[in-house]
Amino acid sequence: MPPDRGKWAVMMAKRVIFSGRVQGVGFRYTAKDLARGFDVCGWVKNLPDGTVELQVMGERGEVEDFIREIAEESNVAHHIKSLMAEEIPPLEGVRGFSIIA
């Protein structure tokens, strides 16, 4: 019988960089608000080059649906010109979802 890996077997983390007119439009607050509807944790912050970085962890489907919600269905989706997503190691010590100044 294979070992029981529990919920961690389906956990994943992603780093996403959103570009476009994504600063000064409520992007980070929208991401934080949307995170309440998903079983994810992580953070979002503005970067000096005008992009927004999101790091999020959760069950694969929750993470992907959360990113899709921001990019395609949120009130800031039309400000996004492109996004670059990559899988990253699990986030350590992160609980909930926050905005980093």
Q: Which amino acids are annotated catalytic?
A: 28, 46
| Structure tokens given for 67 | 């990113």
Work out the burial of residue 96: count CB atoms within 10 Å of its CB; fewer than 13 is exposed, 13-18 middle, 19 or more buried. Answer: exposed
Question: Could you give the strand order of the β-sheet that contains 40-46, starting from the edge strand earlier in sequence?
Answer: 80-88, 11-20, 52-59, 40-46, 97-100
